[in-house]
Amino acid sequence: MRVHRLKRLLLFGPYIVFLVILALCIALFVSIRSQDRKIEALEEEIGHITVNQNGLIEKVSSFDSSVDELSSALGAISNELSLIDIGELEVVRDAANSTAPGKEWPRKVYLTFDDGPSANTAKILDILKKYKVRGNFFVVGTEDPELQKMYKRIVDEGHVLCMHSYSHRYNEIYSSVDAFTADLDKISALLKDVTGSVPKIYRFPGGSSNSVSRLPMTEFIKILDERGITYYDWNVVAGDATNPMLPAEKIIENSLCDLNEYEEAMILFHDLSNKTSTVEALPTIIEAIQKNGITIAPIDDNTITIQHYTNTN
């Protein structure tokens, strides 16, 4: 029985061994196939990653070029800003220094202040004193004793006190010759009372070219002529009459940019309590004019009569 079993073992042993080896080979083959698949999947994933990476690189480079564009745009803006920083003054000065005909600065500049006295009159006078220049104040009437003192200070400090009506109310002043005369009498009497004399210079409210007068301006000019009073308008506008208030930079620009158009320039400013940017702008304007060797002058008999109204109006 044992011999018989041994025989059987010897007979089937190699087959069993072969089968076992075969099974192992199959298992190995299956395992290798599965590893291969995993490797393929991994390769595919790496491929995706590479594609994504390329996409990312593309995005980064397009971002880079956007940054470049932005940077050059910023550069251009910065250039423009630096030009602005140099200031309108230098632009004006360059224009003034040019030797081209008609580009010379005027011989004289007259600073004229309308509608005072106001809370700013003392500040304006202080600035004029600091720069040793004389201005021209076209004043209106006031009943405030403190403000009335300004008429006297204007005269005492060597400036020219001029009239600009008592009421500054267009409807009243220009309604008739009598109304105009009454208003003129009132401001004349007040200024004579405070300063001792009646000014010989007048500026019509709204200028001699105003469009509100119901009568021809010749009617009122005649009254002034009879009294030996000369009227003056202006040829340069600081632009400070506007509401809301103009920033100082703009007032500076307005006051200086047209100066070289005229042999004698008369700048119109406003001396009103709410016109603080005019006070702020004044030192820069005076400095710019003085740096160019121009005289800032008080109006006198030699001043060109800058008048808007002509007989052809």
Task: Name the site residues for Zn ion (rule: CB under 5 A).
Answer: 114-115, 205
Q: Report how far residue 310's alpha carbon sits from residue 148's, in angstroms, rounded to the nearest whole number.
A: 34
CB of residue 114 to Zn ion, shortest distance in Å? 4
CB of residue 270 to Zn ion, shortest distance in Å? 7
Residue 267 near residue 306, CB atoms below 8 Å:
no
Q: Report how far residue 108's alpha carbon sits from residue 67's, in angstroms, rounded to the nearest whole number.
A: 53
Q: Which is nearer to Zn ion, 115 or 183 (CB)?
A: 115
Q: Which is nearer to Zn ion, 199 or 205 (CB)?
A: 205
Q: For residue 259, what is the DSSP state?
A: G
Q: Which is nearer to Zn ion, 105 or 269 (CB)?
A: 269
CB of residue 164 to Zn ion, shortest distance in Å? 6
Q: Which is nearer to Zn ion, 106 or 205 (CB)?
A: 205
CB of residue 112 to Zn ion, shortest distance in Å? 11
Buried b (16+ CB within 10 A) or exposed e, 163-175: bbbbbbebebbbe
| One-letter amino acid for residue 161 of the chain | L
Q: Which is nearer to Zn ion, 115 or 240 (CB)?
A: 115
Phi-psi map region of 163: left, alpha, beta (phi>0 left; psi -120 to 50 alpha): beta
Single out the residue of 122, 106, 98 nearest to residue 236, CA to CA: 106
CB of residue 295 to Zn ion, shortest distance in Å? 25
| Residue with nearest beta carbon to Zn ion | 114
